[in-house]
């Protein structure tokens, strides 16, 4: 509860995270870019610092930081390497999808270990031949105490190295949301489960991504999360709604880093005897970036409060905040790179990595086209709140 929130301890935490991001975090960023891997030592460091369980409640072993305040930490973490942000973002979010539906055994075997950083859970919804979720084609059929799965998933973050796939499928012969079903499916070499490493991406280097193919793969019925028919409820309401707000704040944090790099460069680079920062054209870029970031941040925090308060417009604001923030990030990083001129195109400069990483957030947790559909439907039906 926010009534027992320790503000002084929280401010100390923000200071700790900020210092790490600017120091050790930058060293790790360079290492990730050099090797293309997130080292086990980095994961252990995040775990030891307790940053993988910031948002989860105390009964799950987390710190119980309220969602809107947790986003202040996500804002700072997002100024670091995208793979570091991804670890903190995903692990601090998957418990929300699992907890309301998990059995006591699943809480002890999967949810608590996930919050502690002892088990990695990969959110597994996206398919190459499906769109927003209700049309998923991966199927299962019940055979006694076992479900048998067939289908394919792709773009699954942490899908290669995870311990469990938080996976959504549908019962054979069903259509729409009612036939969907979720599982905490162990990544333990199940028969018929093929895991293809698909991690060679433009940005977010170091984070593994998988293509998953299932051919008559058996899943014990005890791995089901929730009841039959609740699959999309688990995936969309439990994970995607707050996760979109978190991604939106990630865009804010990365945009702040991009503009910071642009300011630093403008204050050191001279042309024709003057600092770039003294030139009106450059100041206009930086001013536009500042205003863009501030406006997006305000909307993100409003969306976070709506989620905390379980307001009717929480889903609409979640999509709106993500839509606005990632478009803002594209504008800010483009201008920040332009301030650097040709120098910004070289990998030796941090803005090059920031520019690449920023592009991924345009489709993470649903493309902007999907977010516009969500918001547009709410507006035309009078459910948008104003």
Q: Which residues are catalytic?
A: 365
Which of helix, strand or coil describes residue 158?
coil
Of 363, 338, 319, 73, whose CA–CA distance to 201 is shortest? 363
Calpha distance 266→10 (Å, rounded):
33
Calpha distance 83→79 (Å, rounded):
11
Calpha distance 210→258 (Å, rounded):
29
Six-digit token string for 303: 């969306």
Q: Using the 8-state DSSP alphabet, how is residue 133 labeled?
A: S
DSSP codes joined into one string, 215-231: EEEEEEGGGEES-TT-H
Within 8 A by CB and 6+ apart from 92, the residues are: 52, 53, 54, 55, 56, 70, 74, 246
Of 169, 56, 186, 177, whose CA–CA distance to 116 is shortest? 56
Q: Using the 8-state DSSP alphabet, how is residue 188 labeled?
A: S
Widest CA span in the chain: 79
Of 183, 185, 176, 184, whose CA–CA distance to 130 is shortest? 176
């Amino acid at each position: 509860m926010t009534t027992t929130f320790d503000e002084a301890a929280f401010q100390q935490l923000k200071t700790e995270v900020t210092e790490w991001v600017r120091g050790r975090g930058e060293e790790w960023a360079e290492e990730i870019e050099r090797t293309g891997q997130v080292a086990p030592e980095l994961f252990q460091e995040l775990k030891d610092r307790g940053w993988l369980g910031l948002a989860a409640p105390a009964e799950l072993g987390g710190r119980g930081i309220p969602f809107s305040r947790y986003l202040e930490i996500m804002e700072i973490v997002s100024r670091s390497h995208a793979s570091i942000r991804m670890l903190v973002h995903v692990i601090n979010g998957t418990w929300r999808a699992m907890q309301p539906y998990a059995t006591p055994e699943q809480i002890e075997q999967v949810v608590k270990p996930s919050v502690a950083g002892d088990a990695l859970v990969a959110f597994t919804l996206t398919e190459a031949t499906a769109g927003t979720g209700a049309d998923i084609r991966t199927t299962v059929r019940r055979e006694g105490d076992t479900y048998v799965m067939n289908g394919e998933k792709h773009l699954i973050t942490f899908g290669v190295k995870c311990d469990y796939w938080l996976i959504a499928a549908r019962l054979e012969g069903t259509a729409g949301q009612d036939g969907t079903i979720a599982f905490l499916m162990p990544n333990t070499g199940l028969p018929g489960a093929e895991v293809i490493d698909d991690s060679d991406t433009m940005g977010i280097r170091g984070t593994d991504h998988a293509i998953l193919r299932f051919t008559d793969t058996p899943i014990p019925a005890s791995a089901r999360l929730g009841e039959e028919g609740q699959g999309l409820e688990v995936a969309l309401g439990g994970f995607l709604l707050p996760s979109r707000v978190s991604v939106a704040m990630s865009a804010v944090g990365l945009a702040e880093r991009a503009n910071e790099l642009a300011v630093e460069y403008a204050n050191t680079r001279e042309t024709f005897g003057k600092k770039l920062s003294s030139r009106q054209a450059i100041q206009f870029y930086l001013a536009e970036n500042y205003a863009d970031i501030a406006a997006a941040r305000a909307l993100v925090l409003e969306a976070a409060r709506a989620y905390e308060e379980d307001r009717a417009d929480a889903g609409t604001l979640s999509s709106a905040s993500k839509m606005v923030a990632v478009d803002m990030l594209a504008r800010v990083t483009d201008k920040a790179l332009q301030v650097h001129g040709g120098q910004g195109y070289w990998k030796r400069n941090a803005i090059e990595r920031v520019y690449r990483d920023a592009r991924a957030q345009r489709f993470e947790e649903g493309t902007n086209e999907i977010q516009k559909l969500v918001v547009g439907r709410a507006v035309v039906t009078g459910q948008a709140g104003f």
